[in-house]
Amino acid sequence: MKLLILSLLIISNIALADGSLVGSYANYKIQSGSLNGKVKVSITSYDSANDTYEQVSETTASDGQVFTDTEILPAADLNTPEENEMLLMLCESDLGGTLKKIKVAAGEFRTCLLEDDGLSLYLAKVPFGYIKIDSIDEKIELLGFSY
């Protein structure tokens, strides 16, 4: 099993090194005390010289105001589809989570549910790795995505 995991990590790091995540995005609905609206998180470019991706987050508040934030992230900080699948495989044995099928606006997904102190995080094989977050202060749900 360790050899399989190591092989998957090597393969996924090769995928990251070629800029294959450019164009990936996820749209989320956010409800919190300070913000109700939608966020689109996109991978817009890859810098092979520095092995980094540009991530743009565009938040649209319920009143129509739009906020944009751009970050440069090391490729190693982003998961490939293969790495997200591996998280599901390791959910119960290594992460202490629970495998669970849930439905959100973007569809029905096999997820790894991680819970801690009133926070529920649902990981799935989607860009950025999560489809739903529930806590006392905040609710986030995946509306749509593309790899």
4 vs 113, more confident: 113
pLDDT of residue 14: 42
Percent of the chain at pLDDT above 70? 88
pLDDT of residue 103: 97
pLDDT of residue 17: 55
Q: What is the pTM of this model?
A: 0.83
Which residues are registered as beta bridge partners of 123?
112, 130
Which of helix, strand or coil describes residue 129? coil
pLDDT tens readout for residues 118-127? 999 999 999 9
The rounded distance, in Å, linking the Cα atoms of 101 and 6 is 27
pLDDT of residue 34: 81
Average pLDDT, the chain: 88
Give the chain's length.
147
pLDDT tens readout for residues 8-53? 344 444 444 578 899 999 999 999 988 899 999 999 999 999 999 9
Q: Concatenated DSSP letters for 56-80? A: EEEEEETTS-EEEEEEEEEGGGS--
The rounded distance, in Å, linking the Cα atoms of 40 and 62 is 14
The rounded distance, in Å, linking the Cα atoms of 99 and 35 is 30
